[in-house]
Chain A
Amino acid sequence: MSEEALEGFRAAVLADTGLQRRLRGLGRDEFLRQAVAAAAELGHDLSVEEVEAALRGARSEWLERWI
């Protein structure tokens, strides 16, 4: 996975409330589709599998930081 692409995308989303609204409240599959499309529009090359991996990583990190 391109950490650089993911971090660039994350930063872009957090800076853009319109983009945030586009990605909120979606089911997992639709979120993956929208995230990949939005990333591409911003010039970040991310695949569905990479976003899925990022979600798994985010879940693990949340749990680990709790322990």
Chain B
Amino acid sequence: MDLVDLAGWTPARVRVEAGAPEVEWVYTGGERFTDPFFEQTIERVLRDPFSLLFRQRTPIETLSDAALIPGLEPRGFVFHVSRCGSTLVAQMLASCRRFLVLSEPSPVDAVLRAPVVRSTRVAWLRRLLSVLGRPPEREGALFVKFDSWSVLHLDLVAEAFPATPWIFLYRDPLEVLVSLLRHSGVHGVPGALPPELFGLAPAELPDLSREEYVARVLERICEAALAHADDPRGLFVDYRRLPGFVLDRLPRHLGLELAEAELQRMSEVARLDAKNPALRFEPRSATAVPPEVARVARQLAPLYERLEAAAC
């Protein structure tokens, strides 16, 4: 594949399940990734008939060639327990035109969970982010917000990018549980992701209530982050510290100097609903917590205390 052929093309998907691993490229041109999620920007681009009809697939080795034109080195990673303000953080960063923010890019998840040896995943991740980090225009720093379960691969990410600082966002497990049970993500549906990812055998699933399953997922995610609590590049941040944390401590942690106008834009974004920026953010009013939810949340309380102890 001639590198010229891939200028302006984005690796939108990586498939490794069957046969030879391949990358699916979508022409995105200079489109900025400003939507709350990577996939939404890809969907927006696919409204152009050209981008829809002329996608192309290549062996994953093409990433090696494409990475010869290196992109931005990641400046910061966002890990999270889900439903804890991570999309808000991503949207605030993306409000700065010089930043390229990739929010839960599915190709990254595919590479992290690929059934290949670790060294191969490390190499693929480096090449993939190098290609994804090619700035279309003016963007001077790359940030990646991972899927919540990607923190289970934090050691691999750290090996691939040993100099990149990261944060782990968390929230009172009761609130996360309630949110996930109300509107589930893929990790809140038993069996939607391989149960082994969360230390469960497939045979265990039928014996778990939905509440117990989600609690187990949250527990594994938080434990994975806490295993890196001593990493000086990491910072544990409670949901309650948002959005102020993004305006003061985060720039220092990531080594960013933000102009007054950029801080102003970030503050304006913080007033919007991060997952639907057309709406203003409205905190949800408290609802009665079912006894089963309260019961499993109590089991997670010690974990929350450890997160609080690890927090900045």
Give A1-39 as 1s and 0s: 1 = Cβ < 8 Å from B's Cβ atoms: 000000000100111010010011110100110010000
Whether B49 and A17, one on each chain, are in contact in the complex, defined by CB atoms closer than 8 angstroms, is no
Contacts of B5 in A (CB 8 A): 14-15, 17
Contacts of B49 in A (CB 8 A): 23, 26, 28, 31-32, 35, 55
Whether B50 and A20, one on each chain, are in contact in the complex, defined by CB atoms closer than 8 angstroms, is yes
- Count A-B pairs with CB separation below 8 Å: 48
Contacts of B48 in A (CB 8 A): 24-26
Question: In the docked arrangement, what's the CA distance between A65 and B15, Å?
Answer: 9
Whether B50 and A58, one on each chain, are in contact in the complex, defined by CB atoms closer than 8 angstroms, is no
Q: Interface size for chain A: under 10, 10 to 19, 20 to 34, or 35 or more residues?
A: 20 to 34
Contacts of A55 in B (CB 8 A): 49, 52-53
Interface centre among A10, A15, A54, A58, by most chain B C-beta atoms within 10 angstroms, is A58
Question: In the docked arrangement, what's the CA distance between A35 and B49, Å?
Answer: 10
Contacts of A15 in B (CB 8 A): 5
Question: In the docked arrangement, what's the CA distance between A55 and B4, Å?
Answer: 25
Whether B29 and A24, one on each chain, are in contact in the complex, defined by CB atoms closer than 8 angstroms, is yes
Q: Interface size for chain B: under 10, 10 to 19, 20 to 34, or 35 or more residues?
A: 10 to 19
Question: In the docked arrangement, what's the CA distance between A25 and B49, Å?
Answer: 8
Whether B13 and A65, one on each chain, are in contact in the complex, defined by CB atoms closer than 8 angstroms, is yes
Give B74-104 as 1s and 0s: 1 = Cβ < 8 Å from A's Cβ atoms: 0000000000000000000000000000000
Contacts of A35 in B (CB 8 A): 49, 53
Question: In the docked arrangement, what's the CA distance between A15 and B15, Å?
Answer: 23
Interface residue? B236 (CB, 8 A): no
Give B47-70 as 1s and 0s: 1 = Cβ < 8 Å from A's Cβ atoms: 011111111100000000000000
Interface of A is mostly: helix
Contacts of B15 in A (CB 8 A): 65
Q: A62-B46, A65-B13 are in contact. Are A20 and B54 (CB under 8 A)?
A: yes
CB distance from A18 to the nearest CB of B (A): 12
Whether A58 and B27, one on each chain, are in contact in the complex, defined by CB atoms closer than 8 angstroms, is no
Whether B53 and A54, one on each chain, are in contact in the complex, defined by CB atoms closer than 8 angstroms, is yes
Whether B52 and A14, one on each chain, are in contact in the complex, defined by CB atoms closer than 8 angstroms, is no
Whether A58 and B13, one on each chain, are in contact in the complex, defined by CB atoms closer than 8 angstroms, is no
Question: In the docked arrangement, what's the CA distance between A62 and B39, Å?
Answer: 12
Question: In the docked arrangement, what's the CA distance between A51 and B51, Å?
Answer: 14
- The answer, among B27, B29, B50, for a CB contact under 8 Å with A26, is B50
Residue of B nearest to A13 (CB): B54
Whether B50 and A59, one on each chain, are in contact in the complex, defined by CB atoms closer than 8 angstroms, is no
Contacts of B52 in A (CB 8 A): 55, 58-59, 62
Residues of A at the B interface (CB closer than 8 Å) are 10, 13-15, 17, 20, 23-26, 28, 31-32, 35, 51, 54-55, 58-59, 62, 65-66
Given contacts A17-B5, A26-B49, A62-B55, 4 further A-B contacts (CB under 8 A): A23-B50, A24-B27, A51-B53, A62-B46
What are 12 A-B contacts defined by CB distance under 8 Å? Answer: A14-B54, A14-B56, A15-B5, A17-B4, A17-B5, A20-B27, A24-B27, A24-B50, A25-B48, A55-B49, A59-B52, A62-B52
Residues of B at the A interface (CB closer than 8 Å) are 4-5, 13, 15, 24, 27, 29, 46, 48-56
- Considering the complex of A and B, which 5 residue pairs feature the smallest CB-CB distances, nearest first? A31-B49, A24-B50, A23-B50, A58-B52, A58-B53
